[in-house]
Amino acid sequence: MAKRITHYLLPCFVGFLYLFLYLPIIVLILFSFNKNAFTYQWTGFTFEWYHQLLKSSEIWSALHNSLLVASISVIFSISMGAIFVFFGTKVRQLLLLFYGSLTIPEIVLAVGMLSFFVVTQVPLGITALIAGHTLLGLGYVIPIIYIRFNELDTELIEASLDLGATQIQTFFKIVLPWLMPALFAASLLVFIISFDDFVISFFCTSAASQTLPIYIFSMIRAGEMPIVSALSAVLLFVSSLLVLLFSALQIKRIGFGR
Amino acid sequence: MKKITAIKSAFIREVSLIFSVPAVLWQILFFYLPLFILIYTSFFQSYLIFFNIMFVRVIVRSLVLAGGSAALCLLLAYPVAYFLALKVERGKNILLFLLTLPFWTNFLIQIFAWFFLLDRNGIINILLKKINLITEPLYLLNNQFSIFLVMVYCYLPFMIMPLYSILNKMDIALLEASMDLGATRWQTFKRVTLPLSITGIKTGVLLVFVPAFGEFVIPALVGGSKYMLVGSLITYYFLVVRDSKLGAAFTVVSGLTLLGCVVLFDRCCQLVSGKRKAR
C-alpha cells in the first residue's frame, strides 16, 4: 500500500507544478473576454477588448518598432555570427570573447550601453536598440552555430579547397547549407529574444520609439488591464504557434541548449 | 607553381580572418567598451559612500531573494525534470512543449497574469472568501511574498531545462546496476543520480540566480515601492535622479558582489563533486 502511494507521488507533484505554471495564464486568457473591466468577477462574454486592441494606433506602431528591431537584429547577428564561426574560430581564443554577455545580469549590460550611448552621443531609439539586441543575439548565435559547425567533417572543407574552390565558394556551397538548421533555430531564438526584451529596451529607447514590451509595461502601470489581457492572449497564441513550428522542424534539441 | 598556390592559399587563409572582424568589433564596441565606460565613470564617485547600511541592506536583500528563488526553483524543478527524463512514457513531447512555451512568451505577460490571482479582489481572495476561510481579503500583492512567488514562477523553466537535458542523457543501465546491487531507491538517487546531475544543477542555479539578482521588472510591477532591490536601485539612479556616477559605482559594487558569489558557488560545486570522486 505504501508503495502505491509513493508511486503516484511524483506524477501528482508534476501535475501540480504544471497547474502552477498554467493557472495564471489560463485565468488571464479567460478574463480577456470579460465584460466588466474593473472587477475580477465574471460578468459576461465580450470581444470588446480585442476590438479596442485592433483600433489602438499606439499598439500598431509599437508592434512595428518591435518587428523592425527584431528582424534587423536577426539579420545582423546571424550573418555576422555565421561568417565569424567559419573564418574566425581558427583562433580559438576569439570565441571566448562572446561568452561574456550571457554571464552578467542584463541590467548591468543595459546600464553600460546607456552610458556608452550618452558618451558617444548616439541618440537613444531604434538604432541603439538594434545595436543592443544584435549584441544579445550574438551571445546565443555564435555558440549554437559553432556546435553545428564542429559537427561538420573537416575533410569536406579540405576536399572542397583541394578541388580548387576558394574559401568564399566553400563557405557558400559547403558550410552554409550544413549550417542551415542551426541558422534557422538561432534566428528564431534571436527574434524572440529581441521581440520580448524589456531591460535593454527600457534603458536604450526613446519615448518616440516604444517597443511592444515597453508599451505593455506602461499599460500595466496605468492599469489598463483588459487591453493588456487581450494583447497577452494574442501574443501567447502567436508564440505557441512559433514553438510548434520550431519543434515540427525537429530542431528543438538546439533550442534546449541555452 | 605549386609553391605559389600554397603561399597564395596560406595568404588567403590569413586574410580571411578579416571576415571575423564585424562580429568581434561589434562585441568589443557594444559589450566591452560599455562595461569599461561604466567602470571608468564609477571612479568619479567615492566608493566610501557604500559603507552605509542602506546599500548593504539592498544588496543582501537581493542576494537572499535570488538565492531563495534559485533554491526553491531547484526543489520544484528537480522532480519535474526527473519525471520527464526518466519516468514518463506517453505524452512526453506535449509535456515538454508546455514547459518550453512560457520560455518563449513575454516575461511581462507572465508577471501580469498573476494580478488576476493575487489582487485584493482577485481570484484567490474570492475563493478563500467563498469557502469562509477568511472574512477580510488578504494583501497578496506589493510585498516580498509576491516578488518571491512571481520570481520563482518566471525562472522555473530556466531551472527545469538544464536539469532535464542532463538527466535525459543519463545512462539508465547505471541506475539499474545500482538497484541490482542492492541499493534502495533513495540510495541510488543519492549516490548515483544526484552526483551525476551536479553540472545540470550548477547551470540551472546560475541561470536563475544571476538574472534574479539584477531583476527589476518583477519588483517594479508586483512589489510595490517599499522594497528596494539592486535592480530597482540601479534603475532609480540612472533614470530617476540621473546620477550616473553613483549609479555606475553601485552597479560595479553589486556586480562584483554577484561575481564573488558565483565564484564561491562554483568552488563549492567543485568541492562537492571532488569529494565524491575521492571517495
Residues written for chain B? 279
CB contact, 8 Å: A256 with chain B?
yes
Kindly list the distances between the CA atom of residue B276 and the CA atoms of B192, B205, B269, in Å, as whole numbers in the listed order: 10, 20, 11
Place of cell 501540480: A16
- Look at B38 and B187; give whichever has higher pLDDT: B38
User: What is the average pLDDT across B163-169?
Assistant: 91
The CA-based dihedral angle spanning residues A233, B204, B98, B75, taken in that order and rounded to the nearest 10 degrees = -100
pLDDT reading at B97 higher than 90: no
pLDDT, residue B276, reads: 61
pLDDT tens for residues B111-142?
A: 999 988 888 888 888 888 888 888 888 888 88
Residue type, B68: G
Residue A52 near residue A230, CB atoms below 8 Å: yes
pLDDT tens for residues A21-75?
A: 999 999 888 888 888 766 677 777 888 888 888 888 889 999 999 999 999 999 9
Q: Count contacts between A and B (CB, < 8 Å).
A: 233
Kindly list the distances between the CA atom of residue B159 and the CA atoms of B77, B100, B208, B224, in Å, as whole numbers in the listed order: 6, 12, 7, 27
Residue B24 near residue A135, CB atoms below 8 Å: no
Rounded distance between C-alpha atoms, residue A18 and residue A6, angstroms: 19
Rounded distance between C-alpha atoms, residue B210 and residue B190, angstroms: 27
Does an H or E element contain B263, and which?
helix B244-278
- The backbone region for A125, taken as left when phi is positive above 0, alpha when psi lies in -120 to 50, beta otherwise, is left
Residues 6+ apart with CB under 8 A from B231: A105, A107, B62, B213, B214, B215, B216, B217, B219
pLDDT tens for residues B27-40?
A: 999 999 999 999 99
- Classify residue B226 by its DSSP letter: T
Which neighbouring-strand residues pair with A45? Answer: A34
Q: Percentage of chain A with pLDDT > 90?
A: 38
Residues 6+ apart with CB under 8 A from B121: A39, A40, B137
pLDDT, residue B125, reads: 85
The complex's ipTM works out to 0.85
Which neighbouring-strand residues pair with A34? Answer: A45
pLDDT tens for residues B200-222?
A: 999 999 999 999 999 989 999 98
Picking from A107, A192, A217, A253 by the largest number of B CB atoms within 10 A of its own CB, the best residue to mutate is A107
Q: Which residues of B touch A210 (CB under 8 A)?
A: none
- Classify residue B51 by its DSSP letter: -
Rounded distance between C-alpha atoms, residue A49 and residue A40, angstroms: 15
Structure-block grid coordinates of residue A250: 525537429
Residues 95-154 of B with CB under 8 A from A: 95-102, 104-110, 112-117, 119, 121-123, 126, 153
Nearest neighbour of A87 by CB, restricted to B19, B96, B156: B19
pLDDT tens for residues A171-214?
A: 888 888 888 888 988 998 899 899 999 999 999 998 888 999 99
Task: Please state the φ and ψ torsions of residue B103, each to the nearest 5 degrees.
Answer: -55, -40
pLDDT, residue A66, reads: 95
Give the range with max mean pLDDT: A143-147, A242-246, B150-154.
Answer: B150-154
Residues 6+ apart with CB under 8 A from B262: B206, B209, B210
- Mean pLDDT, chain B, as a whole number? 87
Structure-block grid coordinates of residue B173: 543501465
Interface contact A88-B79, CB threshold 8 A: no
pLDDT, residue B7, reads: 66
At the fourth CATH level, the homologous superfamily of domain A76-255 is MetI-like (1.10.3720.10)
Residues 146-185 of B with CB under 8 A from A: 153, 156, 161, 164-165
Among B71, B63, B79, B65, CA closest to B205 = B71
Kindly list the distances between the CA atom of residue A214 and the CA atoms of A6, A36, A149, B106, in Å, as whole numbers in the listed order: 47, 25, 36, 11
